[in-house]
Amino acid sequence: MGHRGLRILALLASFTLVAGTGLVDPAAAQDKPRHGGELVFVVPSEPPSYDAHQEETFGLIHPMAPHYNTLVRVDPFDKTGTKPVPDLAESWNISKDGLIYTFKLHRGVKFHDGSEMTSKDVKASYDKIIFPPAGVKSLRKDAYRVVEVVEAPDPYTVRFRLKWPESSLLLNLASPWNWIYKADLLAKDMHWYEKNVMGTGPFTFVEHVKGSHWVGKKNPNYWDKGKPYLDGYRAIFISASSAQVAAIRGERAHIQFRSFSPAERDSLVQALGPKITVQESPWDCLNFVSMHHEKKPFNDKRVRRALSLALDRYEGSKNLSKITLVRDVGGIQVPGTPWATPPAELEKLAGYGRDINANRAEARKLLKEAGAEGLSFTFKNRGIPHPYEPVGIWLIDQWRQIGVTVKQEFIEASAYHPMLKRGDFEVAMDFQCGFIVEPDLDLPRFLSTSDANYGKHKDTVIDDLFQKQARAMEPEERRKYLRAFEKRLLDEEAHVIYTLQWHRIIPHSSKVKGWTITPSHYLNNQLDTVWLSE
């Protein structure tokens, strides 16, 4: 009930967000899709292997997702990227106790080699993801700890039995990484998919020239009749962003599916005018400041709160959104999505209040109380131009306003993660990126027991709250626990300091229709709904 109201609110919010920045092409209803044409898009990096169960880079998803289907997927027309809709499963049913999920599969789905897809393929693929045999890597198996077993009682039914009820499982199964592979191929060689492509998706694999491009061709026997609209697609690998912009500007590519910076968007709009359409969305990515709880004075929560209070997030949002990929002030969920805290509520948290002078005065007071006046430390940051560097510069300037002197040290991107893992920092920039906006996927790293808890905070209250929200089947109850979790994480204990929500900007050729932006650059890449106008 409140859920529906929130959906409308979310829709309105996203519409205003979008309307404020230009125009968007609302996906389905307008013109009738035209068949034909080759979509050319740019991808900044290449896939290291071909197996989505083992990788987590968009460099794999962008060129390869069109070759595959998943059991369920995120609605490609939904801007919040949180609505599960059928893909290979045509319908599903959840038992009353929430422990049994039964999926009915489409019939007549064929792999690209002509063989039929049945439930045993789904079971084999999920067994590989959730219960990988020795020597097989599955990067996301921990997300499915709740699953006890996957069954295939008949060729067109798949059943998941859970150990406990989990409200997010359906959305979790819509993960863009859970490609359905062919059981026979997996039985012969579990590593086959690392170097080969065989799926049921709307496009078949033509070629991959390393360092150059990836080509896919329309699947004439696609099970979703009438689709895909495109004759094919071509992904060109270009790493330098200036060259990517040049490609779109020179009309050699239609779109880039990750994001461009505000300045790049402006230059494209200025150069191409009506030939360019801009879609924008808050991104399911966020930089937060991680403080090492075992190093003085960051073990004192007053110091941590002070550092958060010093930040004028609203002014920062206004300014930084002009030069880099951040914009909205958000909490633990992307603004505009079902579980996000409404802005009015958010302002009650430390550092989110509108009166920056009062906040900073309190920050100074806290520092004094904690005996940390004139605090000075080294802030470690990742050497990436957008948005790490600008946000880092902003942070240092903000902390200067409460008398804290910070020296910034940039660590090369590849050496960064090991540095965090070693705990070799006092204060460091970290990031939380999700592929689907869902608390069960976005928040586990903040648990005291998580391997990704680099700040080494120990807080049983927060662990408990997470557990409670994961098991809550009633939306209101879940929301209550999520608010409490957020307050504990960002306000009471200030374990981490959230900066600003990343902002996704996709300026693309106006010929591209049928593609809707979502907060995740891993979603909506199957290209079956995309078509090119004349």
Partner 1 sequence: MWKYLLKRFALMFPTLLGVAVVTFILIRVIPGDVVELRLAGDRGSVSDEMLNAERIKFGLDQPVWRQFVTWIAGAARLDFGTSMWTGSPIWDEIRLRFALSFQVALMSTIVAVLLAIPLGVIAALRQDTWVDYTVRIFSIAGLATPSFWLGIVFILALLILFKWLPPMVYTPIWVNPWQNLAQLIWPALAVGYRYSAVATRMTRSAMLEVLREDYIRTARAKGLVEKLILSRHALKNAMLPVLTVIAIEFAFLIGGLVVTEQVFNLNGVGLLFVQAVAHRDYTLIQALVMLVAGIFILMNFLMDIMYAWLDPRIRYR
Partner 2 sequence: MAINPAIDVAAEGLADTPHGGWRAAVADFCRRRPLGAIGAAVVVLMLAVAVSAELVAPYDPVAVDFGAMLTRPGVQHWLGTDAFGRDVLSRLLYGARTALLVGFGSALMGATGGAIIGVGSAYFGGKIDLYLQRLMDIFLSFPLIILALALVAILGNSIPNVIMAITIPMIPRSALVIRSSALAIREMPYVDAARAAGFGHARIIMRHMLPNVMAPYLIMLTAFLGQAILLESSLSFLGLGVQEPTAAWGLMLRGAAVDFAESAPWMAIFPGLAISLAVFAFNLFGDSLRDALDPKLRTL
What is the sign of the dihedral through the CA atoms of 424, 426, 428 and 433? positive
Which ranges of 131-189 does DSSP label H, i.e. alpha helix? 169-173, 183-188
Q: Which residue has the tokens 């991808």?
A: 43
The verdict on 385 binding partner 2 (CB under 8 A) reads yes
3-state secondary structure (DSSP) of residue 381:
strand
Kindly state whether residue 137 participates in binding partner 1, applying the rule CB under 8 A. yes
Q: Which residue has the tokens 């059981």?
A: 183
Q: Does 409 bind partner 2 (CB under 8 A)?
A: yes
Q: What is the 3-state secondary structure (H, E, C) of 73-99?
A: EECCCCCCCCCEEECCEEEEEECCCCC
- What's the CA gap between 129 and 4, in Å, rounded? 33
8 A C-beta contact, residue 528 and residue 66: yes
How big is the CA angle at 503 (ends 337 and 351), to the nearest 5 degrees?
A: 75
- Give the residue carrying structure tokens 């593609």: 515
Residue 184 binds which of partner 1, partner 2, none (CB < 5-8 A, kind-dependent): none
Strands (E), 97-250: 100-105, 147-154, 157-162, 203-209, 213-218, 232-237
Q: Is 250 in the site for partner 1 (CB under 8 A)?
A: yes
Q: How far apart are CA 182 and CA 186, in angstroms?
A: 6
Distance CA 468, CA 485 (A): 10
Distances in whole angstroms, Cα of residue 135 to Cα of each of 186, 189, 275: 14, 12, 50
Q: Which of 475, 460, 241, 461 is nearest to 338 (CA)?
A: 475
Local structure of 288: helix, strand or coil: strand
CB contact at 8 A, 166 and 20? no
Choose, by CB under 8 A, the member of 3, 107, 145, 252 that binds partner 1: 252
Token output for 272: 């191409």
Give which of partner 2, partner 1, none residue 125 binds (C-beta under 5 to 8 Å, depending on kind): none
Piece in contact with partner 2 (CB under 8 A), picked from 1-9, 60-68, 122-130, 391-399: 391-399
385 sits near partner 1 (criterion: CB under 8 A): no
Piece in contact with partner 1 (CB under 8 A), picked from 2-10, 121-129, 209-217, 318-326: 209-217
Using the rule CB under 8 A, is 431 a contact of partner 2? no
Query: Under the criterion CB under 8 A, does residue 212 sit at the interface with partner 1?
Result: yes
In 412-473, where do the E strands start and end? 427-433
Judged by beta carbon, residue 195 or residue 296, the one nearer partner 1 is: 195
The reply to whether 239 sits near partner 1 by the rule CB under 8 A is yes
CB of 130 to partner 2, least distance (A): 38
* 45 makes contact with partner 2 (CB under 8 A): no
Under the binding rule (CB under 8 A), the answer on residue 136 touching partner 2 is: no
Q: Does 184 bind partner 2 (CB under 8 A)?
A: no
- Whether 408 and 392 have beta carbons less than 8 Å apart is answered as yes
CB of 247 to partner 2, least distance (A): 15
Contact between residue 360 and residue 309 where contact means Cβ atoms under 8 Å apart = yes
C-alpha distances in angstroms, 403 versus 314, 364, 396? 20, 8, 11
The binding track of 416-435 with respect to partner 1, each residue x by CB under 8 A or -, is -xx--x---------xxx--
The piece of 24-32, 78-86, 410-418, 495-503 that touches partner 1 (CB under 8 A) is 410-418
Between 11 and 269, name the residue whose CB sits nearer to partner 2.
269
For the chain, report the end-to-end CA distance as a whole number of angstroms.
Answer: 43
Compute the least distance from the CB of residue 322 to partner 2, in Å: 7
Task: State which residue, 241 or 516, has the beta carbon closest to partner 2.
Answer: 241
The piece of 286-294, 318-326, 364-372, 486-494 that touches partner 2 (CB under 8 A) is 318-326
- As measured in angstroms, the least distance from the Cβ of 274 to partner 2 is 19
Residue in this structure with the two tokens 């300045």, named with its chain if needed = 263
Among partner 1, partner 2, none, the one that 1 touches (CB under a kind-dependent 5 to 8 A) is: none
Residue 263 interacts with partner 2 (CB under 8 A)? Answer: yes
- Nearer Cβ to partner 1, position 117 or 496? 496
Q: Which two tokens stand for residue 462?
A: 């927060």
Residue 236 contacts which entry, partner 1, partner 2, none (Cβ below 5-8 A, type-dependent): partner 1
> Taking the complex as a whole, how short is the minimal distance between the CB of residue 263 and partner 2, in angstroms?
4
How many secondary structure helices (H) and strands (E) does the chain include? 16, 18
Which of 211, 220, 226, 374 is the binder for partner 1 (CB under 8 A)? 211
Interface with partner 2 (CB under 8 A), residue from 49, 157, 319, 450: 319
Residue with smaller CB distance to partner 1, 401 or 450: 450
Check residue 414 for interaction with partner 1 (CB under 8 A). yes
Find all residues with CB under 8 Å of 169, minimum gap 6, and list them. Answer: 101, 146, 147, 160, 162
CB of 192 to partner 2, least distance (A): 35
**What is the contact surface with partner 2 in residues (CB under 8 A)?**
241-242, 261, 263-264, 266-267, 270, 315, 319, 322-323, 383-386, 389-390, 392-394, 396-397, 408-412, 414-415
Which residues lie near partner 1 (CB under 8 A)? 48-49, 56-57, 135, 137, 139, 194-195, 209-213, 236-240, 242-243, 246-247, 249-250, 252-253, 271, 412-415, 417-418, 421, 431-433, 445, 450-452
